[in-house]
Copies of this chain bind each other. A is one copy, B any other.
């Protein structure tokens, strides 16, 4: 494949990964969640509590996008918001008990995805491609 098609290839892989995740979420009957919501939950599984600002940075989305995404997670009962005592501007988000129940499902979906992506690609190749992708990432930043 021509090296000129790198952008198209990256774009297609991203799109396929997205579809994979949406399909998997459906399969586990978690309908209506997008990968971005999954990313938020992912961070909450390890962090317990984060401000909107930090989460926006973590999931690399605009703060206004995060407002909408979190709003949906709250309405679905997976996440709750609370204002910070010492800084009334800040809002933290955390998992509800219902949200915590999602962790094993997400872990499994994540494992499935990684196994699918790296199928037939040995560890040395994986490391090599990650190294170059990181370089590309900084190049185009």
Residues of A within 8 A of B (CB): 1-7, 9-17, 20, 60, 113-114, 116-121, 123, 125-137, 139-141
Contacts and interface: CB of A to CB of B under 8 A. Distances in A.
B125 A132 contact: yes
18 contacts: A1-B130, A3-B118, A6-B118, A6-B133, A7-B17, A7-B117, A9-B133, A10-B14, A11-B60, A13-B136, A16-B141, A17-B140, A20-B140, A113-B140, A119-B139, A121-B132, A128-B132, A129-B129
Contacts of A120: 135, 139
B130 A9 contact: yes
The copy count of this chain in the complex is: 2
A92 B137 CA distance: 37
B17 A10 contact: yes
A129 B7 CA distance: 12
A130 B3 CA distance: 6
Contacts of A116: 139-140
A110 to B, nearest CB: 8
A141 B119 CA distance: 12
A21 to B, nearest CB: 8
Nearest to A36: B11
